Structure formats: C-alpha cells, structure tokens
C-alpha cells in the first residue's frame, strides 16, 4: 500500500449535533494522521466547484442547501491506503446501508444528511485537498 492523502469533511449535520469531536477521535484512533484541519462555512459557489461531478444531478440543489446550512470541519488525512481507509471508516453513502460501527451508521440520518465526506480515488483526493487547502496549511 502507498502513503496517500485524502480529503474529509465533517458535514453540517454532524457539526451541529456536536459529533465533530467523536469523529476526530475515531480518525486519530484509526491511525490516520491529520495533516490539515479547519472549520469553515461553504458558499454555494464553493460547493458547486467541489461537487462539480454532481452539479447536473437531480439531488444537487438539496446537496448544496445541506452543505451550506452551517459550518463544516474539513481535513486532509494521510496514511497507508488513506483513501480506502477513510471510506471504510465512513461506511456506505446511505447510512441505512452502512455497516455497524461506521461513522455514517452512527451519525448519519439519511442519504442526503450522511455526516461525512471522503474522496473516492487518488485523482479526486488530489483535487479536493488542493481545492480547500494551501501547502502552508498542510503540516
Ligand atoms: P459519497 O459521498 O459516498 O462519495 P456520492 O459521491 O455519490 O457519495 O454523492 C455525494 C453526496 O451527495 C452524498 O454523500 C450524499 C449526496 N447524495 C448522493 N446521492 C444522493 C441521492 N440520491 N439523494 C440525495 N443526496 C444524495
Ligand atoms: Mg463521492
């Protein structure tokens, strides 16, 4: 396995519910390293650029309304096989289908409000990390 970086978001539902600390603790326990972290609120334009592959889809407006409704915590995570490892910790997109013990099972509500984001491949991870973090913020 290769040393990878991936991009993670604790989404507005989980931040508002006070689950950011528990999710960060789960990341630390997993062995993934947090290389960058910030708490911000997305604009619609930032959301459209970030989710460019979903902008034309029927659920996009719902996704944007949700992702901009309150602050998020975003992170760059690093480790061996970090992309798959973080996806495994999150669980399936729809919390109803997510495995027991995963973050989306524990903290998600439905397919739209699913508590966390994670990059799905090396290309999207590189794009997403650089979309939100400068080199100065990754330490
Ligand atoms: P993932 O976040 O697991 O990579 P995705 O990239 O297919 O899933 O979709 C991005 C987000 O969009 C997802 O976390 C929640 C939302 N979403 C996806 N499919 C949806 C649907 N059918 N209805 C409502 N929201 C949806
Ligand atoms: Mg995705």
CB 2 within 8 A of CB 81: yes
Class of the CATH domain delimited by 3-133 = alpha beta
Give residue 1's pLDDT: 81
Annotated domain spans of the chain: 3-133
Give the distance (Å) from ligand 1 centre to CA of residue 103: 15
> What distance in Å separates the CA atoms of residue 131 and residue 137, rounded to the nearest whole number?
12
Question: Per-residue pLDDT tens for 14-54?
Answer: 999 999 999 999 999 999 999 999 999 999 999 999 999 99
Q: Which residues contact 15 (CB under 8 A, 6 or more apart)?
A: 39, 70, 71, 72, 73
Tell me, yes or no, if 117 is annotated catalytic.
Answer: yes
Give the distance (Å) from ligand 2 centre to CA of residue 117: 7
Give residue 96's pLDDT: 98
Closest-CA residue, ligand 1 atom 5, reads: 93
Q: Which residues contact 59 (CB under 8 A, 6 or more apart)?
A: 112
Low pLDDT (below 70) residues in the chain: none
DSSP string, 65-104: HHHTSS-EEEEEEEEETHHHHHHHHH--SSGGGSPTTSHH
Give residue 114's pLDDT: 98
The set of protein residues with a Cβ atom below 6 angstroms from ligand 1 is 54, 59, 62-63, 93, 111-112, 114, 117, 120
The H or E element that residue 116 is part of is strand 116-118
């Amino acid at each position: 396995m290769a040393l990878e970086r991936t991009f993670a978001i604790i989404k507005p539902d989980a931040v508002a519910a006070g689950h950011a600390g528990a999710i960060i603790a789960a990341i630390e326990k997993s062995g993934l390293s947090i290389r960058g972290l910030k708490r911000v609120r997305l604009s619609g334009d930032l959301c459209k650029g970030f989710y460019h592959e979903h902008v034309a889809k029927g659920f996009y407006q719902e996704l944007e309304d949700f992702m901009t409704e309150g602050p998020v915590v975003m992170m760059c995570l690093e480790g061996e096989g970090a992309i798959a490892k973080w996806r495994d910790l999150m669980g399936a997109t729809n919390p109803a289908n997510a495995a027991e013990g995963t973050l989306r099972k524990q903290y998600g509500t439905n397919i739209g409000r699913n508590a966390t984001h994670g990059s799905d491949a090396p290309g999207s991870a590189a794009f997403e990390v650089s979309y939100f973090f400068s080199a100065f913020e990754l330490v």
